[in-house]
Structure 1
Amino acid sequence: MSSSNPISKENISTSQAAVMVINYMLGAGILTLPRTTVDAVRTPDAWISIIVSGLIVMAAGWIVVLLCKRFQGKTWFQFVPEITGKWIAFILSLLVIGYFIVISAFEIRILAEVTGLFLLEDTPMWAIVLPFMWIGLYLTLGGINCIARLYEIILPITLVFLVLALMLSSTIFEMDNLRPVLGSGPMPVLRGIKPTLLSFTGYEIMLIATAFMKFPKKATRAVIAGISVPVVIYTFTVVMVIGGMSIDGVKTRTWPTLDLMRSFEVQGLIFERFESLLLVIWIMQIFSTYTVTLYAASLGWSQVFNKKFRPFVFALLPVIFLIAMIPKDVTEAFKLGDTVGYASVFLFGVIPLILLLVSLVRKKGATSK
């Protein structure tokens, strides 16, 4: 790692790398995936599209870690010049940095939209976003080890309460809403692959995290585990949302998962309504995605220009804030998210495969198992 990087001596375990991938993936998709998938599939088979997309993303993640393991101890920004040369690597690095910046901006914009609608009505958007960004700045300055340790705390809380809330929605669950399976054949399932792929962005953090792993040879295990958990969570969420609200009910809701939580009550518990609880754990996941992408973008700048890490973290905050404020409404924010999702397919699905093949042909990097 670059000597100009003050966090270069940090390292993370295999489980921490997996947790980083999980927390990155479980962002805005928890609330929007049922609607976007159902819009594309238009049958109860949306959950099958999620499983198929998950398998595709696992293959992409496997390719990413194969590439990274050939250059152990180096991030994307450090090993790509060895494969392509300085100038092509510079362009690719800028694209990846730009991607992480826009993902950060998108996540905090969605946070502001949902929080302003359900929790803090009539609160100015900047008043929601800025405290969130500054807290994220504090964590990011601590480095990847601090980020990973916090994620290890956030993830179990998220999984327990999310699964609990979804299980309690079984009081309004109707199995008939999920039938017939493949009643219209496989084509609707295939149509649902594209929008579901966009919700599985997150495995690309291994382009950076692998360099910090104590045992980089276990990166494949980390990325497969990191993708598997969101696949299960997303599938379970979509099944429960469709089962509780039906296909027609899901298509007409902007935030169907939240609407599901608002559609039932459980008497006698501390929380009789669960949408606020779901929002709390969802905000923690948005925080995870925001901080890890802020970290990745800042680290990218510092390594591309061989400068110190901390100034770039501060410099990126106003940039992220301005990008987050560009969409005029939630519809434009969703379009921004779709655009970034399509870019991720090219940046982290196609380019790593090309670079892996080039590195093999040119015999760059070390052979790893």
Structure 2
Amino acid sequence: MKQSGSKISTSEVVIVVINSILGAGILTLPRTISKAVETPDVWISVIVSGVLVALISILLVTLCRRFPGKTVFEFVPEITGKWISYFVGLLIIIYFVILCSFEVRVMAEITSMYILERTPSWVTIMVSLWVGIYMISGGLKVIIRVFEIVLPVTLLLLAVVFLLSSRMFELSNLRPLLGEGLLPVLKGIKPSFLSYSGYEVLLIITAMMTDVKTSNKAAIYSILTCTIIYLVTIVMVVGNLSLPGIESRTWPTLDMVRSFEIEGVFFERYESLFIVFWLMQIFATYAFKHYFAALGIRDLFSLQKITGIEYALLPVLYLIAYLPKNLEETLALGDFLGNISVFLFGLLPLLLLIISMIRKKGGKHASNEGSELQSAQSQ
């Protein structure tokens, strides 16, 4: 792999994965999963989805560890051959590009709805892309350093919001438990996969790790953290707004934040502060996917530099982000991405792992080569 910077630690991998996952999903998940489940057992679906995503993440890491120091764009040709690998690599890159555009469009929709009313979407989209390219051009280390600061503040603010909203929490909104059996719970697994989109970056950043042996730990910690956040969010939103109240709202999480105020303190209404910080979290998801899309193009086509690719992607991201005519089409695009991710990062990596074992590609021999290379570099 052409290294554009130094190796990253296990904790930095956790930061990358969490920031790649936590984005627009936390705002849309309560509505999409409630429509699918139609029972108060939505929180069980979140737990099941988290377990499945954790297993898939371990699968991705296991596949990557067979080819140390190589991203998915570099080791797939060894498994499938050159031409099939181009097709697989292009699918992943296109997925990243569309997901980038989706996150930017959601940022524009939320901004025009809650913060900058009457501001055209194209203005917000363009500003977000240009601010993003300024940060992304500094490399992965710069992006990580920025969101190492943003993530703890965002999570602290989210915890404060949950604490304040607990005064309106009604436990009866979460009952009865499994009143209609397990079938509704199973229906909620598929819609929640979009909210976990981001774990697939493990296919790239595993190659950049200082200690690849801790990749399983990094994957589990990341998914566990996101699952806990999603679980608490779902429980609090359902407990505050009730299931029927959620299904009629576009952004249930934001509506929950707007439903309370604290008189006599510096901030009487917290939704503006929460929206601003969560927009930064959505921006983090976009930034990492933009960088990895450019990195994928570089590795797939054996190019030398990544900077020109990042700038070349800007008009493509803008056009795709502006393509949905309204909010409904934007959310439909998100559902489509969720369906694609199940195949592209669930079934396909499993197939690649099986083929690599059958064809004896990678494995212990590659691991030994990787360890010898690392020892040679240290010397």
Q: What is the letter of the counterpart of residue 358 of structure 1? A: I
Which residue of structure 1 aligns with residue 104 of structure 2? 108
Q: How does 1:1-369 map to 2 (within 5 A)?
A: 1-2=1-2, 7=4, 9-307=5-303, 308-367=305-364
Moved more, 198-207 or 49-58: 198-207
Q: Distance in 2 between matches of 1:270 and 1:184?
A: 45
Q: Identity, % of aligned pairs? A: 51
* Deviation (angstroms), 1:362: 1.2
Query: Number of paired residues?
Result: 365
* Deviation (angstroms), 1:278: 1.5
Q: What is the letter of the counterpart of residue 146 of structure 1? A: V
1:10–1:144 CA contact under 8 A, matched in 2: no
Q: Distance in 1 between matches of 2:130 and 2:143?
A: 15
Structure 1: segments with no counterpart, 5+ residues:
none
The TM-score normalised by the length of structure 1 is 0.97
2:34–2:243 CA contact under 8 A, matched in 1: yes
SS at structure 2 position matched to 1:193: coil
SS at structure 2 position matched to 1:199: helix
Q: What is the letter of the counterpart of residue 172 of structure 1? A: M
Q: What is the letter of the counterpart of residue 143 of structure 1? A: G
* Deviation (angstroms), 1:151: 2.0
Structure 2: segments with no counterpart, 5+ residues:
369-379
Deviations 1:147-183 (A, max 9, x none): 2222211111111001111111011111111111111
SS at structure 2 position matched to 1:365: coil
Q: What is the letter of the counterpart of residue 26 of structure 1? A: L
SS at structure 1 position matched to 2:190: helix
Deviations 1:191-215 (A, max 9, x none): 1111112211111001111111111
Q: Distance in 1 between matches of 2:15 and 2:307?
A: 24
Q: Report the aligned-residue RMSD.
A: 1.2
SS at structure 1 position matched to 2:176: coil
Q: Distance in 2 between matches of 1:148 and 1:65?
A: 20
* Deviation (angstroms), 1:143: 1.3
* Deviation (angstroms), 1:14: 0.3
Q: What is the letter of the counterpart of residue 253 of structure 1? A: R
* Deviation (angstroms), 1:269: 2.5
Deviations 1:32-69 (A, max 9, x none): 11111111111111011000000000111010000011
Moved over 4 A (4+): none
Deviations 1:101-146 (A, max 9, x none): 0000000001101110000000011211111111111121111111
Q: Distance in 2 between matches of 1:237 and 1:271?
A: 22
Q: What is the letter of the counterpart of residue 359 of structure 2? A: R
Which residue of structure 1 aligns with residue 376 of structure 2? none
SS at structure 2 position matched to 1:340: helix
* Deviation (angstroms), 1:231: 0.5
1:12–1:148 CA contact under 8 A, matched in 2: no
The TM-score normalised by the length of structure 2 is 0.94
